[in-house]
Amino acid sequence: MTAIAPSKLALVPFVSVENMMRIIKEIGIEKLLCELAGYIEEDFKRWQTFDKTPRVAAHSKEGVIELMPTSDGELYGFKYVNGHPKNQSEGFQTVTAFGVLSNVSNGYPVLFTEMTILTALRTAATSAVVAKYLAPGNAKTMALIGNGAQCEFQAFAFKKICDIETVRLYDVDPVATKKTAENLAKVGLNVISCSTAKDAVEGADIITTCTADKKYATILTDDMVRPGVHVNAIGGDCPGKTELDKEILLRSDVFVEYTPQTRIEGDIQQLDENFPVTEMWQVMTGQAVGRCSAEQITVFDGVGFATEDFSALRYIKQQLEVTGHFTMLDMLADPEDPRDLFGMVQRVIADEPLMAEVV
């Protein structure tokens, strides 16, 4: 077959895992997290611009595969993401992801990127942005229950964005806690490894739950949450997957990303569909109040929403031009005459040279 030189229109910038790491290295993970948080907050503040829908989930007994699309009218983005709690024991990631950003005007993709690492970063950045509005003033200590792949990203983001100095760790598996403690000591956090969840929440201003089991779990019981605490509950993100005793929710003010999705997936799936919640965009734009007293318990029932991935895709797209860390992928057929796809295929398989513009 004649060697084909794809035209420029056929090529889509691709960020591999290796190039994502090059981007992180070049920008610096601290700067990147802060800039990403800025993009996420900016997009929450223009909430009305987005075309929003609950993500499309395919559930199986082992896990879930989800598509998370949204659009701001100029760009369209979606993420593919899976969640399989049992993967870890088989040597696979619990969560892997990739995503695409496209031009709304012609439907052509402008970015295809790994998002396993990027999802870990955006999830942590989102929690930290939310905590700026909800955590008690001068919070310095955070409990982290669940020491899996997301845990350190949370700690790191809260250190950078919310000035957390001390983390108190707990996991049912002490090996996971040991791994986390080692990683977090290296980035300058005071680390206290605890042997029970009850011990971990002792004295914490913020409690982050990021466990993976797809079941109705009670990671936090009612007695573990004292007045004034901010609960950053991000592990309950699927129908049938919760982390909090519902009594905690009943005496808290609960904040969510996008209510229709959180009612299905979040910890509030345990409660009546009329249970009052506040969407974070309302708080960020000043249309609703976040924390209003020192005694108030605030709960961020975070499940992850498509706009956060859109923000991350938009941010990485910007970094392509700055860093150059991407390759071009021959993803789109591009016949010289756009109506002549059949002719293009016929000519190629007949060994006739293609007339497509050379890159």
Query: What CA–CA distances, in Å, run from 35 to 24, 51, 129, 199, 358?
Result: 12, 24, 11, 34, 36
Residue 209 C-beta: closest distance to its own copies, Å: 16
Query: Does the annotation mark 237 as catalytic?
Result: yes
Which of 43, 237, 245, 309 is flagged as catalytic?
237
Residue 296 C-beta: closest distance to its own copies, Å: 31
List binders of its own copies among 62-121 (CB under 8 A).
62-65, 67, 69, 71, 73, 76, 78, 80, 82-84, 87-88, 90-94, 96, 98, 100, 102, 104-109, 114, 116-117, 120
Residue 193 C-beta: closest distance to its own copies, Å: 15
Residue 198 C-beta: closest distance to its own copies, Å: 23
Which is nearer to its own copies, 322 or 332 (by Cβ)? 332
List binders of its own copies among 260-289 (CB under 8 A).
none
Task: Kindly state the number of chain residues that form the binding site for its own copies, as judged by CB under 8 A.
Answer: 87
Residue 100 to residue 278: CA distance in whole angstroms: 30
Query: Pick from 65, 101, 58: which is nearest to 80 by CA?
Result: 65
Residue 229 to residue 207: CA distance in whole angstroms: 7
Query: Pick from 3, 5, 2: which is nearest to 334 by CA?
Result: 5
Tokens standing for residue 1: 């077959």
Residue 129, H or E segment = helix 116-134
Checking 355-358 for CB contacts under 8 A at 24+ apart, the result is 356/4, 356/5, 356/6, 356/7, 356/10, 357/7, 357/8, 358/5, 358/7
Tokens standing for residue 116: 């396993």
Residue 13 C-beta: closest distance to its own copies, Å: 13
List binders of its own copies among 142-181 (CB under 8 A).
147-153, 156, 176, 179
List binders of its own copies among 315-344 (CB under 8 A).
329-335, 337-343
List binders of its own copies among 211-240 (CB under 8 A).
none
Which is nearer to its own copies, 57 or 288 (by Cβ)? 57
Which is nearer to its own copies, 249 or 344 (by Cβ)? 344
Residue 294 to residue 292: CA distance in whole angstroms: 7
